[in-house]
């Protein structure tokens, strides 16, 4: 399969995402520029972490107007796979490709540390080869990772199992202690209705190398490969 990693002005984890994919798989990994108008034949497009446009106005608000986002939207609506990590998640929410929004962390500070995620739903590209209740140890590093949406929308998300990752503690409980940024219901990642578009605040690309720490991030990328393989495109 082919992965396309987008670089917006200000993207920082694009290089790390590409090198993580190169470390894990023999797949082709292409670099996509924000001004490109097509996805270069990518099966999965990744919007990486960073500070696109300096997080000006709102994180992701300006990046989502980039020319490449038209192609991403078309790809998504046709059932293509899209993964948004951190800033990428923010871009997808601003673009309306995922529900909800990300606002400033409740603690008002940037937080960089490892968290534990619980897999909530398997019906998504990012969790397709996980088991329900699986725990993943992955780092977060963000200042605007607090997931918010209206009460009704939140209830619907939960009812439809659109939450794919939740912050939990060592014992697996999704309480306040485990919540690093104030996200509603400890939501760390969500999927679109069809599951082909996924967004997550934690960084799986920074959890693939045993020398650097956890390798649980692999599960996310392996799930995407399985998903793409299953759906044939």
Partner 1 sequence: MSELVARVFVTPKTGILDPQGKAVQQSLQTLGFAEVRDVRVGRFIVLRVEAATAAMAEERVRAMCDRLLANGLIEDFQVQVDADGH
Partner 2 sequence: MSTPGHPPMTAALAAEQGLTAEEFARIVERLGRAPTFEELAIFGVMWSEHCSYKSSRAFLRGLPTEGPCVLQGPGENAGAVDIGDGLAAVFKIESHNHPSFVEPFQGAATGVGGILRDVFTMGARPVAILNSLRFGRPEAPRMSHLVRGVVAGIAHYGNCIGVATVGGDVYFDAGYDGNILVNAFALGIAPRDRIFRASAAGVGNPVMYVGARTGRDGIHGASLLASAALDESDADKRPAVQVGDPFCEKLLLEACLELMRADHIVGIQDMGAAGLTSSSLEMAGRGGAGMLLDLDRVPMRETGMTPYDLLLSESQERMLLVARAGSEEAVRAVYARWDLECVVIGHVTDDGVFRARWHGDEVCSVPVRALTDEAPVYHRPAAAPSDLEARQRLDLGGVPDVADATAALGRLLESPNLCSRAWVYEQYDQLVGAGTVLRPGGDAAVIRIDGTRRGLALSVDCNSRYTRLDPYLGALLAVVEGARNCVAVGATPLAVSDCLNYGNPERPHVMWEFQEGIRGIRDACVALGTPIVSGNVSFYNETEERNIPPTPTIAMVGLLEDVERHLQPSFLDAGDVVLLLGQTRAELGGSEYLAVLHGLESGSPPWIDLGDERRLHRVVLRAAAEDLLRSAHDVADGGLAVAIAESCFGRGLGVRIEIEGGVRRDAALFGESQSRMLVSARRGRVKRLRELCDAERVPCAVLGEVGGDRLVVTGHVDASVEELRARWRSAFGRLIDA
Residues that bind partner 1 (CB under 8 A): 57-58, 61-62, 65, 94, 100-101, 103-108, 146, 148-151, 182
The residues binding partner 2 (CB under 8 A) are 9-10, 12-13, 15-16, 19-20, 50-51, 53-56, 109-113, 139, 141, 143, 203, 205-206, 209, 211-212
Q: Which is nearer to partner 1, 39 or 62 (CB)?
A: 62
Q: Which is nearer to partner 1, 123 or 148 (CB)?
A: 148
Distance separating the N- and C-terminal Cα atoms of the chain? 9
Q: Which is nearer to partner 2, 16 or 216 (CB)?
A: 16
> Is 205 in the active site?
yes
Chosen from partner 2, partner 1, none, partner binding at 182 (C-beta under 5 to 8 Å by type): partner 1
What is the spatial distance between Cα 150 and Cα 30, in angstroms, rounded to a whole number?
37
Q: Which is nearer to partner 2, 78 or 211 (CB)?
A: 211
Q: Residue 12 CB, nearest distance to partner 1 (Å)?
A: 23
Chosen from partner 1, partner 2, none, partner binding at 69 (C-beta under 5 to 8 Å by type): none
Residues contacting residue 138 through CB under 8 Å, at least 6 positions apart: 114, 115, 117, 202, 203, 204, 206, 207, 214, 216, 217
Chosen from partner 2, partner 1, none, partner binding at 167 (C-beta under 5 to 8 Å by type): none
CB atoms within 10 A of CB 87: 29
Chosen from partner 2, partner 1, none, partner binding at 166 (C-beta under 5 to 8 Å by type): none
> Is 93 in the active site?
no
Q: Residue 110 CB, nearest distance to partner 2 (Å)?
A: 5
Catalytic option among 94, 146, 205, 206? 205
What is the spatial distance between Cα 194 and Cα 45, in angstroms, rounded to a whole number?
16
> Is 185 in the active site?
no
Task: List, by residue number, the catalytic residues.
Answer: 86, 203, 205
């Amino acid at each position: 399969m082919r992965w396309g990693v987008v670089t917006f002005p200000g993207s920082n984890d694009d290089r790390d995402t590409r090198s993580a994919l190169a470390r894990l798989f023999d797949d082709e990994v292409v670099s996509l520029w924000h001004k490109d108008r097509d996805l270069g034949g990518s099966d999965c497009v990744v919007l990486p972490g960073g500070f696109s446009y300096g997080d000006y106005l709102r994180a992701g608000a300006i990046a989502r107007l980039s020319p490449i986002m038209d192609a991403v939207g078309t790809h998504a609506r046709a059932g293509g796979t899209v993964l948004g990590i951190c800033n990428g998640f923010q871009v997808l929410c601003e673009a309306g490709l995922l529900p909800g929004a990300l606002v400033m962390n409740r603690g008002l500070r940037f937080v960089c540390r490892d968290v534990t995620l619980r897999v909530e739903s398997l019906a998504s590209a990012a969790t397709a080869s996980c088991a329900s209740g699986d725990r993943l140890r992955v780092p977060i590093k963000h200042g605007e990772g607090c997931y918010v949406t209206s009460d009704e929308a939140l209830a619907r998300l939960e009812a439809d199992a659109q939450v794919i990752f939740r912050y939990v503690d060592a014992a697996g409980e999704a309480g306040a202690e485990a919540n690093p940024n104030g996200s509603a219901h400890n939501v760390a990642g969500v999927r679109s209705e069809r599951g082909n578009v996924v967004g997550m605040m934690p960084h799986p690309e920074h959890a693939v190398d045993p020398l650097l720490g956890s390798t649980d991030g692999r599960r996310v990328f392996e799930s995407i490969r399985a998903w793409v393989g299953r759906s044939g495109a």
